Amino acid sequence: MEPGVSVTILGTAQDGGIPQAGCSCERCNEAHKNLKLRKYPVSLGIIGTDGSKHIVEVTKNLSEQLMIWSSNENELFIPETVSITHLHLGHVEGIGQFGKPVMASKEVDVFLSHKNKNVFDERSDIKLMIKQNNIRTHSKNFNQLFEPKQGCGFSLQFISIPHRSELGDTAAIIIKGNEKNILFMPDQDSWEETLEYYSKENIRDFLKMFNINYALIDGTFWSMKELPGRNISEIPHPTIQDSLKLLGKRMEKDPRISFLHLNHSNPVNDIGSKQRKLVEEYGWGVSEIGDVLKL
């Protein structure tokens, strides 16, 4: 039997990770004391049927994330390709790790939307890494299926998602195996806008449109009351509470849905919190570092 494609969750936090710089909330303080409570910004590691290694998003914690992903500490997995949903900090912050001062990689293929590639390629550090052959950037159309490496046994597809677009545009990424498909949608402004963009009435129809079996979706905040002192309307995300309201309880034929991109302020981070229990009672999940999905 041919080995399948495996997708490992390498990070579950919002861009800042946990503990977040400059934050002394209880959750961040505990994570300073206890390494096991640390959460890295969202990222996925994908192993193709040919054994090739690919990541989605490249974070400041690439070093720890490659160790988590690898089955053998003497043979760390080194990604051959990187696919990036959008240019907000946490999704691209680790790109410099491929450069001369750290890994001095050779020709890592980096996939982005057209708009994001144009913006990305203009950065002086990226120009240098391209010149030094550490990375090669490639643009992909929204909805176009592509294999990040020929013969890897799965395809990727960027789909457009309404999200704050100061730096470029935003994609969700669909990972298509032979039989199953994963949606990775770490950031969106609201379900209303996303559903309207795709002319769908509800989340189930949206997921059905792309034949999604597992959806890893934006769970940044639990509620709007979470960030005292910050205007949450300037950082719009649907709250998990909203998503639960829209989804209701999981029904038998529904895809699996799991929340990630969790802000340090989100109580769903805590195993055993009543908010997390509620998510689970509804039949949905919260992603954990090290979770593996098979395609």
List residues near Zn ion by CB under 5 A: 15, 20, 23, 25, 28, 88, 187, 264
User: How many Å apart are CA 37 and CA 31, to the nearest integer?
Assistant: 5
Select from 236, 122, 135 the least CA-distant residue to 187.
236
Q: In terms of CB distance, is 15 or 291 closer to Zn ion? A: 15
CB of 107 to Zn ion, least distance (A): 27
CB of 229 to Zn ion, least distance (A): 12
Find all residues with CB under 8 Å of 110, minimum gap 6, and list them.
81, 82, 83, 84, 95, 120, 135, 136, 137, 138
Residue for token digits 């709250």? 239
CB of 105 to Zn ion, least distance (A): 24
What is the number of helices (H) and of strands (E) in the chain? Answer: 9, 14
Q: In terms of CB distance, is 80 or 187 closer to Zn ion? A: 187
For residue 250, give Cα distances in angstroms to 203, 247, 277, 284, 294: 12, 7, 14, 7, 21
**Segment (H or E) for 35:** none
Q: In terms of CB distance, is 12 or 81 closer to Zn ion? A: 12
Q: In terms of CB distance, is 7 or 172 closer to Zn ion? A: 172
CB of 8 to Zn ion, least distance (A): 19
Q: How many CB atoms lie within 10 A of CB 236?
A: 17
CB of 91 to Zn ion, least distance (A): 6
User: How many Å apart are CA 84 and CA 111, to the nearest integer?
Assistant: 6
Q: In terms of CB distance, is 77 or 111 closer to Zn ion? A: 111
Q: In terms of CB distance, is 57 or 80 closer to Zn ion? A: 57
* Burial annotation 105-124 (CB, 10 A radius, 16+ → b, else e): beebbbbbbebbbebbeeee
> Rounded to the nearest 5°, which phi and psi values hold at 45?
-110, 130
CB of 60 to Zn ion, least distance (A): 13
Q: In terms of CB distance, is 54 or 264 closer to Zn ion? A: 264
Q: In terms of CB distance, is 15 or 169 closer to Zn ion? A: 15
Q: Give the strands of the sheet with 256-260, arranged side by side.
A: 145-146, 155-160, 171-176, 181-185, 214-218, 256-260, 285-286
CB of 157 to Zn ion, least distance (A): 19
CB of 186 to Zn ion, least distance (A): 6
Alpha helices in 114-157 (DSSP H): 114-121, 124-131
Residue for token digits 């059905």? 208
